[in-house]
Structure 1
Amino acid sequence: MADQELVHADHRGPAAVVTLDSPHNRNALSSALVEQLHATLAEVVADERTRVVVLTGTGPVFCSGADLKEQRAGAAPPSVGLPDVLTLIHDSPRPVVARVNGAARAGGLGLIAACDLAVGLAGATFGFSEVRIGVAPAIIAVPVLRRMDRRAARELFLTGEPFDGLRAREAGLLDRAVADEELDGTVDALVGQLSRGAPEALAITKQLLRDLPGPDLQEDLRRMAEVSAERFVSAEAREGIAALLDKRLPAWVPAAGAPTGGGAA
């Protein structure tokens, strides 16, 4: 299994679509899949062609969480673990969009929460099932509690009760909950919108979303004044302002008609 390709990436216009491709175990987070996911994400994030990363899965399940058969067999700890993957997604200078093609459980919800934006199916089911098998949603709580409404997370963590995509959106886990036939169009639209942002500006905006608010208002204002001043004299700002005044698109905007992130397997 370690030699099998469980994750693959396809470049589609400005998007690098990273697909969990382990349908035999519902895209469970086996050690092999986690290691391949980390390596694939690192590769596409470093690729200059990538403007947006789309994370999705094959089959009717996005990700079923930990590979319980592997856990039961007492497999040795992997060299790369889920915390490494969540950190890579969280810290990526490229926006990461979760295309949640179906159900998700446990660790799969951690992947969704680590992404910048998440689009899922309204009829899909989600669940923090850890307490029902005697464990705790410990690692995934780190990104989830940064994203979800805390009261909703308290109930869903403690009960382990499954919930649908509409509840996931209300709780903050998903940004959009859509019908099956709307999934690709919605992801395509988001990729197109994100691709209109300047790459460095997007990376810096992601950073300030992580950093703010800090403990001190005046310190936040001081630091952000420095960031603002630096950006206004940057090459990207010069190009963006010139394009606006000249009534043209900036150089970083992909050519019209380029495919985006939809239609993932």
Structure 2
Amino acid sequence: MADELVHYTTAAGVATITLDSPHNRNALSAQLRSEFAVGLDRAIDDDAVRVIVLAHTGPVFCAGMDLKEAKGAGAGQQGVNEFPALLQRLWTSPKPVVAKLAGHARAGGVGLVAATDIAVAAESATFAFTEVRIGVVPAVISVPVLPRLNARAAHELFLTGEKFDARRAAEIGLLNAAVPADELDAAVDRYVTSLTLGGPTALAATKNLLQGETARAMPETFERMLALSAEFFASEEGQEGITAFGEKRKPNWVPESS
């Protein structure tokens, strides 16, 4: 039996879902996605749970989709198809979800962060929307990410794929706070304590209010974004980018002088 990649614990009304696949930088493999979904449903369905915390082990919060599973035309489609349900479950959870990042997030990992209600990261954490650099489109994650980000920043960071730090992530709306690494636990605890002071039904209704049109439009939007994402994962350009990433070389569209 494969080792568990996602751990679930509860204490004092708080469910903690911990990504524990450091060998591949907590990439969203089929196993990790499945275990994550089970843990999230478990927390949402448990009346004793008031707040959900999403945490991780290792130096990377989440590197995005597991590209080893996306090689070959159509190979990544199942992962692409499953991911929207996970993002939508996070976004529409009646219980507040807090992301705790001691490390970096890339691509789909940034989508997870955006889908939570409150996100706190160590100042040493970095972020990037790396999709275009491997010939695919940040289509699915755009659904939770774009409502969070300053529009100019979204254009810059989606199109360039450049890395940005936690302080900038907070400035543009992706994070609530970027704090020194040794203050991360305390910062998250402060948010969690504040959330547990709210009435459960009132919190759920307030979350529904805050989700607005984004939540109502999610099924249709995700369907369109899935088609776009799957098209590029299976495309010649996408497969070249994924192969180049695995071989640690530049894809064939990058000029030789770059």
Shorter-normalised TM range: 0.7 to 0.9
1:150 aligned partner, one-letter code: A
The equivalent of 2:6 in structure 1 is 7
C-alpha separation in 2, matches of 1:80 and 1:41: 18
What are the Cα deviations for residues 8-42 of structure 1, in whole angstroms up to 9, with x where unaligned? Answer: 11112121010011111000001111111111100
The equivalent of 1:176 in structure 2 is 177
Number of corresponding residues:
212
The equivalent of 2:157 in structure 1 is 156
C-alpha separation in 2, matches of 1:187 and 1:98: 8
What are the Cα deviations for residues 55-89 of structure 1, in whole angstroms up to 9, with x where unaligned? Answer: 01111110000101111153672597110110110
The equivalent of 1:225 in structure 2 is none
Which residues in structure 2 correspond to 1:136-147 (within 5 Å)? 136-147=137-148
Cα deviation for residue 128 of structure 1 reads: 0.3
The equivalent of 1:16 in structure 2 is 15
- In the alignment, is residue 96 of structure 1 matched against residue 100 of structure 2? no
Tell me the TM-score normalised to structure 1 length.
0.77
C-alpha separation in 2, matches of 1:15 and 1:208: 23
Which residues in structure 2 correspond to 1:243-262 (within 5 Å)? none
Relative distance call for 1:138 and 1:75 in structure 2 (3 A) is: closer
Q: Which runs of structure 1 show a deviation greater than 6 angstroms over 4 or more consecutive aligned residues?
A: none
The equivalent of 1:115 in structure 2 is 116
SS of the equivalent of 1:140 reads: helix
C-alpha separation in 2, matches of 1:64 and 1:79: 15
The equivalent of 2:232 in structure 1 is none
Contact 1:51 1:95 in 2 (8 A): yes
Contact 1:34 1:80 in 2 (8 A): no
Relative distance call for 1:75 and 1:136 in structure 2 (3 A) is: closer
Contact 1:123 1:165 in 2 (8 A): yes
1:94 aligned partner, one-letter code: K
C-alpha separation in 1, matches of 2:142 and 2:116: 14
> Any gaps of 5 or more consecutive residues in structure 1?
214-265
Which residues in structure 2 correspond to 1:17-56 (within 5 Å)? 17-56=16-55
C-alpha separation in 1, matches of 2:81 and 2:42: 15
C-alpha separation in 1, matches of 2:124 and 2:79: 34
SS of the equivalent of 1:77 reads: helix
Contact 2:65 2:79 in 1 (8 A): no
SS of the equivalent of 1:81 reads: helix
Moved more, 35-44 or 197-206: 35-44
C-alpha separation in 2, matches of 1:83 and 1:123: 28
Contact 2:54 2:99 in 1 (8 A): yes
Contact 1:35 1:80 in 2 (8 A): no
C-alpha separation in 1, matches of 2:70 and 2:120: 30
Contact 1:38 1:80 in 2 (8 A): no
Cα deviation for residue 211 of structure 1 reads: 2.0
Q: What percentage of aligned pairs have identical amino acids?
A: 52
C-alpha separation in 1, matches of 2:80 and 2:135: 25
Relative distance call for 1:21 and 1:144 in structure 2 (3 A) is: same
RMSD: 1.7
The equivalent of 1:83 in structure 2 is 84
Contact 1:63 1:103 in 2 (8 A): yes
SS of the equivalent of 1:197 reads: coil
Contact 2:70 2:77 in 1 (8 A): no
C-alpha separation in 2, matches of 1:110 and 1:78: 14
Relative distance call for 1:141 and 1:192 in structure 2 (3 A) is: same
- In the alignment, is residue 61 of structure 1 matched against residue 60 of structure 2? yes
Tell me the TM-score normalised to structure 2 length.
0.79
C-alpha separation in 2, matches of 1:107 and 1:80: 13
Structure having the higher Rg: 1
Contact 1:119 1:187 in 2 (8 A): yes
C-alpha separation in 2, matches of 1:21 and 1:60: 11
The equivalent of 2:135 in structure 1 is 134
C-alpha separation in 2, matches of 1:114 and 1:167: 18
